[in-house]
Amino acid sequence: MIIDSHVHIGNSEWGNFTPEYLINIIKEADYAVCSNLNGIDSTAGICDEYECNTEMLEVAKRYPKLKPLAVCQPNAAVNNCVIRNLLENHPEFVGLKIHPEYMRLPADSDKYNKYLELAREFKKPCLYHSGHIKSRFSSPVLIYKKAQEFPEVPVILGHLSTGPKDCHKMAIEILLDAVENDRANLYVDVSWIDFAFERLNESMEDTLLLIESLRKTRKGDQTYRILWGTDAPVGKFNHSRESYLKNLKIFKQRVLERFNDESLLENLLSENARKLYGF
């Protein structure tokens, strides 16, 4: 089984992605955890929490392979009531989506608290855009700070960290610190890690380094915290079914070459996400 733990519909600077466009690209995936860019990055004006998440819900009804995340806008909403209502009435939302970079709201701001309280209450993971280590909005350092205030909430560092190898290494250090000292409940997805300048680094060095690092922690094997995900259709390398398949194929090859462990691969591709999200 294959679960893509990070995909999108909606309008963004990368294009206008209809559900049909996404579904065609991700044909290979059995399920995909999806959020609506109309509430994150829309070039046509940002929809509010109610609008973008209701639209996501309708799309998920039409395409049951899409598991919806509720986009949160603590920068704009007066309180958490819209998201609370959505979670109460629509348990099909599997988690929350938070993008500090587009909101230009530092990830350690107290404005996030009301949303993380909901995540804790409804037992939902939060998928963050984890940006450059030096970003004043979405640095994994800031996300980690906030995650430590809510140690029960699974916080996913989407993309690990953007930027070059140094950023990846520092984000891996953060994951290890959280795990080994029981400071926060961090997860990570592998989207964009080995992509730069619109192409895949086929050695997938940094992704393999991440897996290797979490395999041998002082708390033992923690690779269940790693989720395969692509961010499709965001990024030119995610714009066609062919390139999506190629990227998936290379990921599988590299993991098997390095670790020679089919069950590790299966966990990364589906089981870890299935357990985390409970579907």
Query: Which window, 148-156, 228-236, 247-255, 261-269, contacts Zn ion (CB under 5 A)?
Result: 228-236
Would you say 138 or 213 has its CB closer to Zn ion? 138
Would you say 34 or 265 has its CB closer to Zn ion? 34
Euclidean distance between CA atoms 192 and 165, whole angstroms:
12
Would you say 3 or 264 has its CB closer to Zn ion? 3
CB of 127 to Zn ion, least distance (A): 8
Would you say 101 or 231 has its CB closer to Zn ion? 231
Would you say 163 or 179 has its CB closer to Zn ion? 163
Is residue 231 a contact point for Zn ion (CB under 5 A)? yes
Query: Which window, 24-32, 101-109, 178-186, 223-231, contacts Zn ion (CB under 5 A)?
Result: 223-231
Is residue 101 a contact point for Zn ion (CB under 5 A)? no
Is residue 189 a contact point for Zn ion (CB under 5 A)? no
Is residue 194 a contact point for Zn ion (CB under 5 A)? no
Is residue 206 a contact point for Zn ion (CB under 5 A)? no
CB of 191 to Zn ion, least distance (A): 7
Would you say 248 or 265 has its CB closer to Zn ion? 248
Which tokens hold the place of 204? 């997938």
Binding residues with Zn ion: total (CB under 5 A): 1
Is residue 41 a contact point for Zn ion (CB under 5 A)? no
Judged by the rule CB under 5 A, the positions of this chain that interact with Zn ion are 231
